[in-house]
Amino acid sequence: MKLTKEQAQEIKDQQSQSNSTKRVTAPELEKILYEAIPILDHGFIRVVDYMGDDTSIVQAARVSYGKGTKKVSTDSGLIKYLMRHWHSTPFEMCEIKYHVKLPIFIARQWIRHRTANVNEYSARYSILDKEFYLPSSENLAAQSQSNRQGRGEVIEGEQAKQVLELLKNDAERTYKNYEEMLNQRFDGTTIDENKKGLARELARMNLTLNTYTQWYWKTDLLNLMNFLRLRADSHAQYEIRAYADAMLDTVKKWVPITYEAFMDYRVGGTEVSSKGKKVIQKLISGEKVDIEQSGLSKREWNELMLALELKDKLI
């Protein structure tokens, strides 16, 4: 992870602040506020602001009560009830804002979650940093034969070395051409006094998708959990999952009761169709049941068996 001098000074200044407030705060999240948490080779996330905590959710659910009128155990029971029964609006009362540095190809995947406020680094206004994401060897994998949007076996040896060289060389070559078109180097110096630089909004289109960008991303807790439920999942692409895992840890520090309910009912739980429910009932009663009797497709059957950890029944 690399921070500019300006970013490092900004973090230092922000963390040296001492403000008094009557608003609720999350002590554990306060400890890492503004801190740059490293992700991948050059990326990071920072929590730069937040609003509310677990009690804000409870207060919204029971608007006739004020903060501090109940025990923590009571709050926990209510939040679990809300999570269990998909009562979503109380979770919208909490908001959080992140500063994220990430590769462009992950940003384009991330932006599909359209329920946040986003402001991205402008390559029309500024020159993008000379930083590119290169996968580590254990994350360099072939195309999966069973999943069109997933990875298969890890690529090793000479082929892996060749792929990494191609990624690195392409990124460096296109960035050099980017500088040539701009007629300006990364450090701000002019290349040729007799040439005009191409407009930044045009020159940027030559860059590779592993170039790093940055943005501020603000969302409410409900939509953050929707994002994390998909992106912290084992089936998500590794690179975006690395960001989601780090964000999940910030949620634990921010709203620990909600985090526990989320991990229990959303991440660790599973959804079951009416046909799947009947399969489970038969399994519990000791009846013999197979895919032909269940009415489930092969994929539905295998997903249910994996959720129930009955791998011997996979087809």
Catalytic residues: 231
Q: Residue holding tokens 């070395």?
A: 161
Q: What b/e sequence results for 205-227 when a residue is b if at least 16 CB atoms lie within 10 Å of its CB, and e otherwise? A: eebbebbbbbbbbbbbbbbbbbb
> Which residues, 6 or more positions from 93, have their beta carbon under 8 angstroms from its beta carbon?
52, 56, 57, 59, 60, 220, 221
Q: What b/e sequence results for 234-246 when a residue is b if at least 16 CB atoms lie within 10 Å of its CB, and e otherwise? A: eebeebbbbbbeb
Distances 198 to 177, 183, 280 between C-alpha atoms, Å: 11, 7, 64
Which tokens is 288 given?
């013999």
Which tokens is 31 given?
């400890």
Which tokens is 144 given?
């999966």
